[in-house]
Structure 1
Amino acid sequence: MTIVGAAVLALGATAGPASAAPGDNARITTGYEHTCTIPTDGTLWCWGGNFSGAIGDGTTTNRTAPVRIGNATNWASVDAGTLYNCAVRTDGTLWCWGSNHNGQLGDGTTTTRNAPVRVGDATTWASVSAGDSHTCATRTDGTLWCWGFNRFGQLGIDSAPYYTTAPVRVGTATNWAGVTTGFAHTCATRTDGTLWCWGDSRTGQLGLGILSYRTTPAQVGTETTWTDVTAGYLFTCGVRAAGTLWCWGDNGYGQLGMSGGYQTVPTQVGAATTWSGVNVGDISACASRTDGSLWCWGNNMAGQLGDGTTTTRNTPTRVGDASTWTGNVAVSYHGCSLRADESLWCWGNNGSGQLGDGTTTQRPTPARVALA
């Protein structure tokens, strides 16, 4: 699933929601039970559950510590879907790997891949977002492309193929800035700061005030100040230029950051005006503030909120007292984030080694991860 925005965009459906230009959030991403990161040297590292080949090291062996993927040093951004990943290189090429049962890798097949495979021959890819079983990406010419599962219209192409195995252009607009994919819905921002969503909205996750579907992009309200938007399992959250945080869709675990039931239109979370970015996963969310603090809320069954407990939270709860967290945060049933000193920290579920600490021990607070 990916975090996106008109200015700084990126990543993780069931796990997660990349960027119009690789932004802070494009460097760390969490899938259902795996993690990938791009350090400043442009290398790519992944670890955790690997039965679908999501690690990308040519095997299906789980890894409890980070392993380097290939020899390339020009990776720019990466986004994890539930059981697969896609990433953009600085040369504008797009690569995907892992589960491919609905064509979500975009390589023209439904063959699972345990190492990165190139998507077509274009060299103008700018950002990518991997969902549960569908993927969307933007190009440098401002066009938007989607592929994979389409049962709920999440590809935005106003037609009814069950799935597509190669990128298909969405409409004719040439001012798309970034895109984020959830379980069966998609949202994207344009360079004018508007927000558009499509696909499944049975719990209001499109923000259109409906409980049905849309097979083509529909504008969410009239606001022109969206800077960061991210789609989760059945909900969506975003940040506006004024530093306010908004969420909508399902709220069964407090993942909207408020009490009450589902919301069919964007609803402000609290009164703070210092939010700088947000990332949501299955049924949990984390967001950063301009003071360098990190806050999480929603489902906490595996300690993925990082607050030292397994208590579900329906309001943003601060993660420790550190004030050096960057906007580089991702959450699923585990969470990871970067600090200003480039150190990487993870917490939450670790049954497949997705925390990268060499163990399979669950951790309810952030622990530092060392790249070999």
Structure 2
Amino acid sequence: MTPAPRKSTRWYRVARWLAAAALAVPAVQALAAAPASALPAGWAQVSAGDAHTCAVGTDRSLWCWGANDHGQLGIGTQVDSAVPVRVNGSWRSVSAGWSHTCALSAAGTRYCWGYNGSSNLGLGDQADRLAPRRVVGEPGWSSISVGNALGCGVRADGLGACWGRGTPGGQATLPVLVGKQTWRSLSAQSDNDHVCGVTTAGVRFCWGVNAQGQLGLGDTVSRSAPTRVVGEGTWASVAAGGYHTCGIRSTGALQCWGEEPAFDTLRPVTVSPVTTWASVSSGQGGYCAVTTASNLYCAPARGQLALTASQIASVDLATSGEGAHACAVSIAARLYCWGANDSGQLGLGFAGGRVLAPTLVS
């Protein structure tokens, strides 16, 4: 994702906030601050944002670290942290965006916090939040995915909904339904405003901006509603990137489309190495994927292949205009991060420089 300037737009954001403050908003409820505690014994899931990272422990605790200029760490302050800090509550999953974060509680309730100038949080207004907030009475969720200014998710009833910039109708301050399909997953990449998802029947739909063919529909025509390719076959998952998208077929093949250093195509093409894949994560200029044998592969490679001692269960890749970082959870539930570290987003206790080899967060 290409981030907006953090400091130069301060007064613009203040003006946007003052304008938004006059709007009527739904009831929003906050969580209390978390008590100090030790890191979890293991990690279940990680999500890399633009310059911050969040992860859920095997004990369902939530931790965030890195940049915090808009409160994206969810700890009630705007102070950066180069080490993991705990967010109060019991959690199922987390998705880190540009300067905001959304997560699902253990009960499936959607909470969001951080920057909200483009309705990024889906809370009914455009005011930043320094700690997790939820919309009272909102239906439960099974999964969520946030990018720069767009968030999407699958509700507990299987319907898909999106909020922020790039939603049907332009910009939505609260989640709005997209299509009538029942979804397995949705992946939002709002830096370039496109979304792809897979239905419970394994059918791939994409919509949004398509200037580089990132929708994989065979052309460069943008779509305002979920669109599929008839007869394409079935998919297990998809991951929207900057100007491209990657997905895993039901057969386990990894295919990508759009514009990226390794390919430039309007339709899905199989990428090397040819093997069986379990998961994939896409960023601004590349992707990382994990095989069914728990081996990690990233393209373009930036030292990501150095992790050989511990096999990988899942990986998440984030990018910005100044670099990229990635984090992965091993099958032993250990957490590794590498890449850009200008704001301490690797969680290694220091900020600055770039770490090429996947390094244990401890």
TM-score range, shorter chain: 0.7 to 0.9
Q: Paired residue for 1:349, among 340, 348, 362?
A: 340
Aligned AA for 1:276? Answer: A
Larger Rg: 2
CA distance in structure 2 between the aligned counterparts of 1:336 and 1:232, rounded to whole angstroms:
16
Residue 353 (structure 2) pairs with residue 366 (structure 1):
no
Give a deviation string over 1:138-197, Cα, whole Å, max 9, x none.
1121111111112xxxx2x3xx33x11001111223x21110001210011101100000
* TM-score, length basis structure 2: 0.83
Mapping 1:1-372, distance limit 5 Å = 13-14=1-2, 27-70=45-88, 72-73=89-90, 75-150=91-166, 155=167, 157=168, 160-161=169-170, 163-173=171-181, 175-182=182-189, 183=191, 184-251=193-260, 254=261, 258-259=262-263, 262-270=264-272, 272-298=274-300, 305-307=302-304, 318-322=305-309, 324-332=311-319, 333-360=324-351, 361-370=353-362
**Post-superposition shift, 1:120?**
4.3
**Post-superposition shift, 1:116?**
0.9
- Superposed structure 1 runs of 4+ greater than 6 Å apart: none
- 1:26–1:147 Cα change, 3 Å: farther
**Post-superposition shift, 1:90?**
2.1
CA distance in structure 2 between the aligned counterparts of 1:320 and 1:345, rounded to whole angstroms:
9
Aligned AA for 1:68? Answer: R
CA distance in structure 1 between the aligned counterparts of 2:361 and 2:230, rounded to whole angstroms:
41
Aligned AA for 1:321? Answer: T
The residue that corresponds to 1:22 in the other structure is: none
Give a deviation string over 1:294-325, Cα, whole Å, max 9, x none.
01113x6xxxx334xxxxxxxxxx34323511
Is residue 45–residue 314 contact of structure 2 (8 Å, CA) maintained in 1?
no
Give a deviation string over 1:30-85, Cα, whole Å, max 9, x none.
01110000010001000001112111111111100000012x12x00111111111
CA distance in structure 1 between the aligned counterparts of 2:109 and 2:150, rounded to whole angstroms:
19
**Post-superposition shift, 1:123?**
4.2
* TM-score, length basis structure 1: 0.81
Aligned-pair identity in percent equals: 38
- Structure ranking higher in strand proportion: 2
Q: Secondary structure at the match of 1:38?
A: strand
CA distance in structure 2 between the aligned counterparts of 1:266 and 1:275, rounded to whole angstroms:
15
**Post-superposition shift, 1:271?**
5.4
The residue that corresponds to 1:312 in the other structure is: none
Q: Secondary structure at the match of 1:263?
A: strand
The residue that corresponds to 2:39 in the other structure is: none
Aligned AA for 1:54? Answer: Q
Is residue 310–residue 332 contact of structure 2 (8 Å, CA) maintained in 1?
no
CA distance in structure 1 between the aligned counterparts of 2:162 and 2:136, rounded to whole angstroms:
13
> Which structure is richer in relative contact order (CA contacts within 8 A, separation 6 or more)?
1
Stretches of structure 1 lacking an aligned partner (at least 5 in a row): 1-12, 16-24, 308-317
Aligned AA for 2:206? Answer: C
Q: Secondary structure at the match of 1:32?
A: coil
- 1:36–1:328 Cα change, 3 Å: same
Is residue 27–residue 37 contact of structure 1 (8 Å, CA) maintained in 2?
yes
CA distance in structure 1 between the aligned counterparts of 2:230 and 2:114, rounded to whole angstroms:
36
Stretches of structure 2 lacking an aligned partner (at least 5 in a row): 4-42
Give a deviation string over 1:267-318, Cα, whole Å, max 9, x none.
11025132111001221211001122101113x6xxxx334xxxxxxxxxx3
After superposition, the CA RMSD in angstroms is 1.8
Is residue 194–residue 222 contact of structure 1 (8 Å, CA) maintained in 2?
no
Aligned AA for 2:285? Answer: I
CA distance in structure 2 between the aligned counterparts of 1:124 and 1:359, rounded to whole angstroms:
37
CA distance in structure 1 between the aligned counterparts of 2:136 and 2:298, rounded to whole angstroms:
37
